Structure 1
């Protein structure tokens, strides 16, 4: 019996990992990425590389999206793939977008006869490659059930949250916590260094303390090594998600002042040329301002 065929579009750090997890799960995987060279590791692992998104989607009735932002989703889904879907296609969209955009994307795809499962993922590239992500789904339960085997290959925990948009809300809530905590750890390091101590003294103590969490320790490791590429979660994406959360809350009359402050710090990181660095690189901004390094 032939292996089920999956198309995966978008091979950033998470998308590449998910492609490998699907291959390990026994799926035939066809991938496409705007930067073709990023597909080489997936080809080496046994995947097929398509020259276009349409070619990739043509090979499968389940299409997994792992795209950077709403503009990329718009370009691929309603540009390159418009009118080119196979009948009965289910889109598993792992892109982090705003809840409003997610609901509108689902509606527009339904008009083309395409079902969409909102599938926000939590974890890092290593977890993605091992199939150990946590997957938050939203949308019609029947659509989720139709791709349950795909979701199981991607994640150790798949949690359905109800109507479309709910998964995006929780994903932004978790990234909100991550952004604020990462900026807070960066300032703790800045304080320690300003007092004449090495950051490793703080990070060693942090590692065995009650303040440690797996997620924050992952960022702390970048800060310890002072190496921020390859990024697990780029500064530009962190800033994007914090702005989404602040905007959605603001439209409902809720202020998120800590998010606004953290967002400003990551914006400063982008301005300093660290947009493609891991978000943990925010720690270097205080060092830069203190030393006057350009």
Structure 2
């Protein structure tokens, strides 16, 4: 069992840290909002007052923060992980950030005698709470093997997808597919409601055919209920689609559906829905159809 510093105890990070503590690891958590360390402390973990304190004696450092600048700050800041972690420390970045930023940070880590894996996750709040996340990991095979005792606690599908940055690239593709599915599901429900169809029955039968998906299973009822408490916020999916469209342009590939959904997500954010679950994109589709709940 390891001593794990866990930086970032939000919707995703908090249950992940708790699972690791319950699995027998000694978890020291840090969050900019101190009260969010509560669940970890209740599970037997420890709250740190700074990143430096959290990582001082850690074998593994886990990071789960919102965006590329946040990861850069956590790792390279004056009192950050690179400054405070001991030689050979394994850093697992569960955040979703730009692949090029990850690759650059991994090189900086190597120069400091540290090991960095990019390990973004999919599955949302439910996946984090149920320890059922899909984790796509970039980095060396040796470091991936060393991280498996940590990754297997919080993930159900854990796959090494290539060198540094590969995990973030696969996550960008994941976010493209999820956003496209959410947008189409929203369009389908607005369409069905316009014709007075029993939408609950329609969703049931659609789920049993080729239209069935994890998105339909997890998000259709939220749309039917107009209940968009955040499991994964629109503002974060907006950020992720920006990563996707930028990376696609740099690679010289087209993502026309991705570009369209990115604009829809941008509209949702601009309309005041940034804090809603990404299934709240339904409200944008409703408004575009001239319909309101």
Give the TM-score, by structure 2 length.
0.92
Change (3 A) 1:156 1:290: closer
* Whole-angstrom CA distance in 2 between matches of 1:147 and 1:214: 27
Which residue of 23, 26, 39 corresponds with 2:24? 26
- Work out whether residues 121 and 136 of structure 2, in 8 Å CA contact, stay in contact via their aligned partners in 1: yes
Cα-to-partner distance string for 1:22-66 (whole Å, 9 max, x where unaligned): 122111111111122222122112221111122111131200011
Change (3 A) 1:282 1:148: same
* Whole-angstrom CA distance in 2 between matches of 1:28 and 1:168: 27
Moved more, 196-205 or 92-101: 196-205
- Corresponding residue number in structure 1 for 2:246: 247
SS in 1 for 2:44: coil
Cα deviation for residue 132 of structure 1 reads: 2.2
Which residue of 25, 34, 44 corresponds with 1:36? 34
- Work out whether residues 7 and 31 of structure 1, in 8 Å CA contact, stay in contact via their aligned partners in 2: yes
Cα deviation for residue 16 of structure 1 reads: 1.3
* Whole-angstrom CA distance in 2 between matches of 1:116 and 1:75: 15
Change (3 A) 1:268 1:142: same
Cα deviation for residue 196 of structure 1 reads: 4.2
Indicate whether 1:263 and 2:262 are aligned. Answer: yes
- Corresponding residue number in structure 1 for 2:232: 233
1:168-247 → structure 2 map (5 Å cutoff): 168-197=168-197, 199-229=199-229, 231-247=230-246
Cα-to-partner distance string for 1:179-209 (whole Å, 9 max, x where unaligned): 1110111111222233344643533333333
1:151-170 → structure 2 map (5 Å cutoff): 151-170=151-170
Cα deviation for residue 104 of structure 1 reads: 0.8
Q: Which runs of 5+ in 1 are unaligned?
A: none
- Corresponding residue number in structure 2 for 1:287: 286
Change (3 A) 1:179 1:146: same
Cα deviation for residue 166 of structure 1 reads: 1.4
Cα deviation for residue 261 of structure 1 reads: 0.7
* Whole-angstrom CA distance in 2 between matches of 1:39 and 1:228: 25
Change (3 A) 1:288 1:92: same
Cα-to-partner distance string for 1:146-189 (whole Å, 9 max, x where unaligned): 22211221222321122112111111111110011101111112
Moved more, 44-53 or 255-264: 44-53
* Whole-angstrom CA distance in 2 between matches of 1:87 and 1:252: 35
Give the TM-score, by structure 1 length.
0.92
- Work out whether residues 30 and 49 of structure 2, in 8 Å CA contact, stay in contact via their aligned partners in 1: yes
For the aligned residues, what is the CA RMSD? Answer: 2.0
Change (3 A) 1:287 1:215: closer
Q: How many residues align?
A: 291
* Whole-angstrom CA distance in 2 between matches of 1:37 and 1:291: 42
- Corresponding residue number in structure 2 for 1:51: 49
Indicate whether 1:67 and 2:65 are aligned. Answer: yes
Runs of 4+ in 1 over 4 A off after TM superposition: 196-199, 289-293
- Corresponding residue number in structure 1 for 2:6: 8
- Work out whether residues 238 and 266 of structure 2, in 8 Å CA contact, stay in contact via their aligned partners in 1: yes
